[in-house]
Amino acid sequence: MARRKKVYEGKAKILYEGPEPGTLVQYFKDDATAFNAEKRATIDGKGVLNNRLSEFFMSGLNAIGVPTHFIRRINMREQLIRAVEIIPLEVVVRNVAAGSLAKRLGLEEGTALPRPIVEFYFKNDELGDPLVSEEHIIAFGWASQQDLDDMVALALRVNDFLSGLMLGVGIRLVDFKIEIGRIWEGDFMRLIVADEISPDSCRLWDIETGRKLDKDVFRRDLGDLADAYTEVARRLGVMPSNGTGVQKPTLIN
Ligand code: TMP
């Protein structure tokens, strides 16, 4: 059987050539990494959960007019996406102080921020993805002022959408990271949400108990990561309560 061409392999996903020009197949692995891949594990079922959750968030965004790379899910671990030119920035939106912001500014984790804060990190593993300012981004040509304005607007729309969705199922969206890519339509360039949106790239806290339902469970050894992600999927009605398990055959009389 002809193997498809691998275009890129990252820490949690693989990209293959898609069936048509301008498309790619995004495969979700079970691998988890943290602290720039210093900590690694394989978590059974994580890829299946993230494929379904990213489909859920991205198709919802598409439906409200926030453009994303998502076209359709192909199977348990793969989705068809539009090929984009990734802007080498991680765009983080924060609603509540946590993680690196809490550490950098000496804020107590859990403190609500006065307004959502958008930050940019330069995607470079060797440098550990350093925080950068708009000045750096423009001076080094990673994006233009217009791109920056568009990226902030996109990120804030994603924040409103995800915050509302999560609030509806008793989850606080503390912060999240997105990546943004360029596509060309004729002579026009547009920015769209790319990569993935999943509990790997968000902080999600149960509103009642404060239980962490995101990758911090792995980063900080707080329990079973697949259980936490399954809980998010279950609350959103994304997956049957048996999680990643294959459906048992049922007898038809
Ligand atoms: P931080 O507090 O560690 O800077 O993380 C902010 C948000 O970005 C959090 O929701 C986790 C997410 N994130 C990623 O998705 N990938 C990364 O490499 C890092 C450092 C954070």
Residue 211 domain flag:
no
- Averaged pLDDT for residues 39-57: 98
CB of 92 within 6 A of ligand 1: the answer is yes
Specify whether 75 is located in the same domain as 120.
no
Tell me: do 136 and 68 sit in the same domain: no
pLDDT at position 3: 77
Q: Check pLDDT > 80 for residue 135.
A: yes
Say if residue 76 is in the same domain as residue 89: no
The verdict on the CB of residue 49 being under 6 Å from ligand 1 is no
193 assigned to some structural domain: yes
Please choose from 95, 126, 175 the residue to mutate so as to test ligand 1's pocket, defined by most ligand atoms within 8 A of CB.
175
Q: Is 32 exposed, middle or buried (0-12, 13-18, 19+ CB in 10 A)?
A: buried
> Average pLDDT for residues 76-105, to the nearest whole number?
98
- Residue-level pLDDT at 241: 55
Ligand 1: nearest atom to the Cα of 99: 2
What local confidence, expressed as pLDDT, does residue 244 receive? Answer: 54
- Cβ(33) – ligand 1 distance below 6 Å: no
What was the pLDDT predicted at 239?
80
Does 242 lie in the same domain as 202? no
Cα–Cα distance between 169 and 234 in angstroms, integer?
Answer: 10
* Average pLDDT of the residues in 113-129: 98
**Is 216 within a domain?**
no
Query: Would residue 27 count as lying in a domain?
Result: yes
Residues 93 and 197 in one domain: yes
Distance between Cα 131 and ligand 1 center (Å) = 11
Query: Quick one: 116 and 199 in the same domain?
Result: yes
User: Could you tell me if 148 and 111 lie in one domain?
Assistant: yes
CB 120 within 8 A of CB 93: no
For β-strands 85-86 and 6-9, DSSP reports them as: unpaired
List, for residues 208-243, the tens digit of each pLDDT value: 999 999 999 999 999 999 999 999 999 999 985 555
Provide the whole-model pTM: 0.94
- Asked whether the predicted pLDDT for residue 253 surpasses 80, the reply is no
Q: How far is the CA of 187 from the centre of ligand 1 (A)?
A: 34
Pocket flag, ligand 1, residue 202 (CB < 6 Å): yes
Residue 37: CATH number of its domain: 3.30.200.20
Domain count for the chain: 2
Residue 160 lies in domain: 85-206
pLDDT in tens, 29-42: 999 999 999 999 99
CATH number at residue 96: 3.30.470.20
Q: What is the pLDDT of residue 248?
A: 54
Q: What pLDDT score does 242 carry?
A: 56
| Domain membership flag for residue 160 | yes
pLDDT digits (tens, 9 = 90+) for 161-204: 999 999 999 999 999 999 999 999 999 999 999 999 999 999 99
193 and 92, same structural domain? yes
pLDDT value of position 50 = 98
Q: Whose CA is nearest to atom 8 of ligand 1?
A: 177
Shared domain check, 129 and 28: no
- Is 217 domain-assigned? no
Is 100's C-beta closer than 6 angstroms to any atom of ligand 1?
yes
Contacts of 226 by beta carbon, 8 Å cutoff, 6+ apart: 43, 44, 45, 46, 49, 243, 244
- Residues 194 and 99 occupy one common structural domain: yes
Question: What is the per-residue pLDDT for 250?
Answer: 63
Residue 177 domain flag: yes
Q: Is 197 in the pocket of ligand 1 (CB under 6 A)?
A: no
- Average model confidence (pLDDT) for the chain? 95
* Residue 58 and residue 143 in one domain: no
| Residue 61: predicted pLDDT | 98
The pLDDT of residue 2 is: 64
| Euclidean distance between CA atoms 29 and 41, whole angstroms | 11
CA of 101, closest atom in ligand 1:
2
Share of the chain above pLDDT 70, in %: 94
Residues 75 and 93 in one domain: no
CA of 176 to the centre of ligand 1 (A): 7
Q: How many CB atoms lie within 10 A of CB 88?
A: 15
Task: Confirm or reject: Cβ of 177 under 6 Å from ligand 1.
Answer: yes
Verify whether ligand 1 is closer than 6 Å to residue 97 (CB atom).
no
CB neighbours of 19 closer than 8 A, spacing ≥ 6?
A: 25, 80
CA of 2 to the centre of ligand 1 (A): 37
Q: CA 240 to CA 246: how far, in whole Å?
A: 10
